[in-house]
Structure 1
Amino acid sequence: MAAKPEDVSTAPTEGAGLFSGAGPEKQPEPNPVADSADKKDDGDAVDSATAAVADLSVNEKKEEAKPTEVSPEVTAPAPEAAPVAASSDAKAEPSTVTPTQGPIWPETAPDHPLTKFYDAFEALTTEAQHNEVYGIELSKSKPFHTKLILQKFLRANQNDLDKAKSQLLDTLKWRKEFDPIKAARETFPKNKFDGLGYVLDVEGVPESPNKKDIVTFNIYGAVKDNKATFGDLDGFLRWRVGLMEKSVQALNLPAATTPIPNFGEGPDPYQGFQIHDYLQVSFLRRDPLVKTATNKTIEILGRHYPETLSRKFFVNVPVVMGWLFNAMKLVVAKETSKKFVVLSYGNQLAAELGKGVPKSYGGERGELAECAEGMKME
């Protein structure tokens, strides 16, 4: 999951969900080494394949565990840096408001999609009666950061202005109702969600120009009781969205100073990585509760967290399931397939993300419970 230009990370968003893998059309996620010009049908294929793999029984454990081009100045902030939420009933400010001093977005032509989007966003915030996205207040007084958010929605929709406006309006209404920033601060039942998710800042990611990158870990094997964890769908979704929002907060977008490139002209530096760990999880059964949670998570995060995920890693995946993923890669665009990596063993992750990951993933740091940040537990 990149954040501020001098402190950016390349964690959710858009991963889609705890048991998901959203495609670019739902949650476009340009890779630090891949562009975001993926097609919608490729994204649908990715969603279907990853969701299918996710429909597993987390109750049934295996008997044996397996052995164990972004702007160069972009680096990632510490995960604890949390943005300040805008008032849920905030209204669009008048276009005559004088912009405050700060970073300057490169000038765009009158017919440029971003120019048109910037001229039209106030009507959307007025209609939604909300103007906050990812901790940033959309306002003419804050042109740089407002354009940063608008650019994400444009890239997510391949510069289709009408689709970008529709997605932003849906997201504004959803954020007002759901209040994901509050969810990120809430306390959850330990017996349901303890050890299931973590956010970690990692240094030294191979080929990454960032000083730090944000990584979100989803630990499927930590689920002890399907009914307890997934039986209350609303409760599960608040936990899962809270984790996603926490990873986005770690990107520290309100402190960003580097513009996001236009669609098709380079990767979005403000994204993160997601890890989906299937250690000791059976792939033999399809639990309806897990399937329902998977689908709803994909729907919510795919719609409301565009351009927040750079790459998604599926680790400790049985070899036979790895074949499924590899086969899926043959039918999607090359740039799309680059964003999804399947590893049969957890300790192979260090080769992808460096030694800053925990020892169980081949790195040099302590385990997640020791070095990463999770959700608050009762």
Structure 2
Amino acid sequence: MDSSLLSSDANRVNAAELNAKVNAAVLKSGSDWDDLPEGHVLLRFSAKLGDIIKEAGYSEVYGIELSAPTAEGQPAPFHTLLILQKFLRANAGQVNAASSQLLGALKWRKEFKPLEVKKQVFDKTKFQGLGYVTRLKGVPDSVNEEDVATFNIYGAVKDTKKTFGSLDEFIRWRVALMELTLENLQLSSATQPIPDDGKGSDPYQALQIHDYLRVSFLRQPPEVKAASQKAIQLFSAHYPETLSKKYFVNVPLVMQWMFGAMQVFMAKETVRKMQWMSYGEELHKYLGASVGKEYGGLGPELEGNSVTPRYEGESVGGDVDVNKAAREKEMGV
């Protein structure tokens, strides 16, 4: 890699770190949940929470146990407010719509048991190499000094019928990957409030990369289409405000034109979160130098340096410390 790229990426890292500090100061000064004004949407949402939990018969979201306020007119506990704010931001601050989505998510989590799915052991011949959770430092324009990133490597699929043949099994694997992503966002130890809708960035979101190297868009089997549609529907409904940006890499130009034409039918917020590129080596321009060499960066390969779901015969998934992996990446271990 030439010196100009090293210099360029170093500048991006410095700018990203400065940007993160500035944004953190703005967020801290502009949002105080200890003194919410009367009628604030979080107070109104908090007031409905007890009934929502009772109707759902369940109270956990993203690893956080939701708790209703202990007194009338008071907000819910801080970490409960984090979750409520995510549902509010996903619904443009509309309490009724956010309440409906939260109720649906709670009912689904009660039935699907995603925290148990996260610990499930999967068939490595079907799913190994398809998904990774890692950390990236110095991402340009990020509000964080370090970001959680999930990589979906579709070209690693060796047998589409085997990987996607059982829709339920694929969705369970995909949910396990998402739950690992959320676990590494460390919401339970968060201390910074999330700004109201339209008033700043949510610092507790992950980046998502979809790598289509060696994938044919024109001859997708029906089982692949079914799995894709199911995953989109499920995550849109039950995992709001978990991703800040989606990057689609190694996408042929003709497909980018097609997707570009489809954007007129998409919500502006959805389009804003999507970035397309023809070559994987371009990704470092958007995510900085800590991505792997196959993405134009200086970081190590994903395998062995990331968190993954559990596979047969391996001790991975929840037992891997993604923070340790990130530190080792930085040290060149």
TM-score by length of 2: 0.80
Correspondence for 2:279: 345
Measure the CA separation in 1 of the matches of 2:284 and 2:303. 18
The amino acid across from 2:213 in the alignment is L
Tell me the CA shift for residue 331 of structure 1.
Answer: 5.8
> SS of the counterpart of 2:248?
strand
Matched, 1:284 2:212: no
Amino acid at match of 2:54: T
Asked whether the equivalents of residues 180 and 307 of structure 2 are also in contact (C-alpha less than 8 Å), the reply is: no
Shift of 1:341: 0.5
Is 1:136 aligned with 2:70? Answer: no
Which of 155, 160, 175 is matched with 2:109 structurally? Answer: 175
Counterpart among 219, 223, 227 of residue 293 in structure 1:
227
| Mapping of residues 301-316 of structure 1, within 5 Å | 301-316=235-250
Structure 1 residues 336, 128: closer, same or farther in 2, change over 3 A? closer
Is the 2:137–2:146 contact (alpha carbons within 8 Å) kept by the matching residues of 1?
yes
The correspondence for 1:258, drawn from 156, 167, 192, is 192
Question: What's the secondary structure of 1:367's corresponding residue?
Answer: coil
- Report what 1:369 is aligned to: 303
Candidates 30, 35, 44, aligned match of 1:107: 35
Q: 1:196 to 1:72 in 2, by over 3 A?
A: farther
| Alpha-carbon contact 1:110-1:116 (below 8 Å) kept | no
| Residue segments in structure 1 that go unaligned for 5+ positions in a row | 1-32, 34-68, 75-102
Q: Tell me which of 24, 31, 35 is aligned to 1:71.
A: 24
Closer, same or farther in 2 for the Cα pair 1:230/1:332, shift >3 Å? closer
Which structure has more helix as a fraction of its residues? 2
Preserved contact between residue 70 and residue 269 of structure 1 (Cα < 8 Å): no
Distance (Å, rounded) in 1 between the aligned partners of 2:188 and 2:277: 34
The alpha carbon displacement at 1:146 in A equals 0.8
Q: Offset at 1:358?
A: 0.8
Letter in 2 for 1:130: Y
8 Å CA contact 2:118–2:177 kept in 1: the answer is yes
What is the SS of the residue equivalent to 2:275? strand
Report the Cα offset of residue 171 of structure 1: 0.7
Of 233, 248, 262 in structure 1, the residue corresponding to residue 167 of structure 2 is 233
Partner in structure 1 of residue 48 of structure 2 = 120
Letter of the aligned partner of 1:240 in structure 2?
A: R
Are 1:223 and 2:176 an aligned pair? no
* Percent identity of paired positions between Structure 1 and Structure 2: 52
SS in 1 for 2:82: helix
CA contact (8 A) 1:73 1:210 kept: no
2:294 match: secondary structure = helix
Cα distance, 1:261–1:104 mapped onto 2, change above 3 Å: closer
Q: Alignment length, in residue pairs?
A: 283
* Counterpart AA for 2:88: L
Q: Deviations over 1:230-276 (max 9, x none)?
A: 11111111100110111011100011111111112112111111000
Letter in 2 for 1:219: I
Question: Matched residues in 2 for 1:264 and 1:339: separation?
Answer: 15
CA distance in 1 between counterparts of 2:45 and 2:266 reads: 30
Residue 324 of structure 2 corresponds to: none
What is the CA–CA distance in structure 1 between the aligned matches of 2:188 and 2:51, rounded to whole Å? 22
Indicate if the aligned counterparts of 2:143 and 2:201 stay in contact, CA closer than 8 A. no
Contact kept? 1:188, 1:239, Cα under 8 Å: yes
> For 1:321 and 1:72, how far apart are their aligned partners in 2?
41
State the Cα deviation string for residues 273-317 of structure 1 (Å, max 9, x = none): 100000011122131101111111111111110011100000001
Partner Cα distance (1:356, 1:169) in 2: 38
Q: What corresponds to 2:325 in structure 1?
A: none
AA paired with 1:271? Q
In the TM superposition, what is the alpha-carbon distance from 1:329 to its structure 2 partner?
4.1
Distance 1:179 1:207 in 2: 35
Q: Residue 247 of structure 1 aligns with which residue?
A: 181
In the alignment, does 2:83 pair up with 1:163?
Answer: no
CA RMSD of aligned residues (A): 2.1
Q: Does 1:154 align with 2:80?
A: no
- TM-superposed CA distance for 1:110, in Å, is 2.9
Q: TM-score, normalised by structure 1?
A: 0.71
Structure 2 stretches lacking a partner, 5+ long? 1-18, 71-75, 313-333
Distance in 1 (CA, whole Å) between partners of 2:242 and 2:308 is 19
- Distance (whole Å) between structure 1 residues aligned to residue 272 and residue 306 of structure 2: 26
Counterparts of 2:26 and 2:130 in 1: how far apart (Å)? 33
Amino acid at match of 1:265: K
